[in-house]
Amino acid sequence: MSSPNKPWPGVIRRYASFLPVTDQTPVITLHEGNTPLIPVPRFVEKIGGKFDLFLKYEALNPTCSFKDRGMTLAVSKAAERGAKVVVCASTGNTSASAAAYAARAGMQSVVLLPKGKIALGKMAQALMYGAKAISIDGNFDDALRIVRELGETGIAEVVNSVNPVRIEGQKTAAFEICDVLGDGPDFHFLPVGNAGNITAYWRGFKEYANAGLSDTLPKMMGWQAAGAAPLVLGHPVEKPETVATAIRIGNPASWDGAMNAASESGGSIRSVTDEQILEAYALLARTEGIFVEPACAAPLAGLILATRAGEIPAGSLITATMTGHGLKDPDTAIRVSGIVPIEVAATKEAVLGALGL
């Protein structure tokens, strides 16, 4: 819908008829959305697949994660109600996004972060955008409980995905996939943490089909980390642990939405180990030049399992959400690569020597 001379208007203006906005809603946008759908044939070949895989590269949103889609709507609705302060609990990306959109709207943001588990890039973002950052001596679930309590006092507007408009904004990614492919995919793979996004995509795919804009409804394939897999175990996890900090959540807010998306679509929610996650993470970067944060590799690891198990029919059309950028978590990247640059003298001979040539 964008002409060569006009900027993409952001997801609210592009998909207004599907969203809870009116002409009176002030649109707070950083022109999020319109992220690329990248084919990855070398990755598919490497894992022995006989299907087409496209990655919805949400790392190219303004704060480098999909959270911006829901945040533009949450902060716009907060502005419409005259809010001055927004608050969220976050494993990192929600706080980065909330802080950015609050700055754009001239509001104060307050972010509650679980102690010691925030990836470096995300922390840098929240601080630069002017958030009041508070580190909670507890995990994400503790932080979210406090945020809900703060919301009830009326002091601040809660912009976690317990705020239903977040999910409304996030469903626009499913619309964009259908717009680009001309239909829905056969399968959609994505990571599952607090479970807002799987809920949002399923709603988006269904709404587009109901509007006559697509025919195919994908099987929704959600993937949790084995150490933080409450939806797979069927009960909350007290002390969730995983290298994929964005999905380190023990008691997902959108529990029912996620279970419904999986069962209604004929898909599933399963788990992969941290080892499998890190393998897929490195494989994607090295075979396709696409750098994502570890959480994004959970569905890729899941796709590897499903491919080996013969669950994916030949010729299937598969999409997967790459939810956040690899640069968000540079510590994990440097650790996983295991590569230390070789130091040599500043001569051609020394470089050739180091290369073994």
Ligand X SMILES: *Cc1c(COP(=O)(O)O)cnc(C)c1O
Which residues of this chain interact with ligand X, rule CB under 6 A?
65, 67, 93, 161, 191-197, 246-247, 293, 295, 323-324
Residue 19 or 247 with smaller CB distance to ligand X: 247
**From the CB of 77, what's the least distance to ligand X, in Å?**
18
Helices (H), the chain: 11-14, 41-46, 67-80, 93-105, 120-128, 140-153, 164-170, 172-181, 196-210, 230-233, 255-265, 274-288, 294-308, 330-337, 348-355
Residue 156 or 228 with smaller CB distance to ligand X: 228
Distance CA 265, CA 298 (A): 20
DSSP state of 342: P
Residue 185 or 230 with smaller CB distance to ligand X: 230
DSSP state of 238: S
* DSSP 3-state of 61: coil
**From the CB of 114, what's the least distance to ligand X, in Å?**
13
Residue 12 or 220 with smaller CB distance to ligand X: 220
**From the CB of 238, what's the least distance to ligand X, in Å?**
18
**From the CB of 178, what's the least distance to ligand X, in Å?**
20
Q: Which residues contact 25 (CB under 8 A, 6 or more apart)?
A: 12, 76, 77, 80
**From the CB of 170, what's the least distance to ligand X, in Å?**
7
Neighbours of 316 (CB within 10 A): 17
Residue 110 or 173 with smaller CB distance to ligand X: 173
How far CA 319 is from CA of 52, 162, 270, in Å, comes to 8, 26, 17
Residue 5 or 300 with smaller CB distance to ligand X: 300
Spacing of C-alpha 116 from chain mean position: 21
**From the CB of 118, what's the least distance to ligand X, in Å?**
12
Q: Positive or negative, the Cα torsion across 39, 40, 44, 47?
A: negative
- 116, two tokens: 């010691």
**From the CB of 166, what's the least distance to ligand X, in Å?**
9
Q: Are 109 and 99 in contact (CB under 8 A)?
A: yes
Residue 76 or 93 with smaller CB distance to ligand X: 93
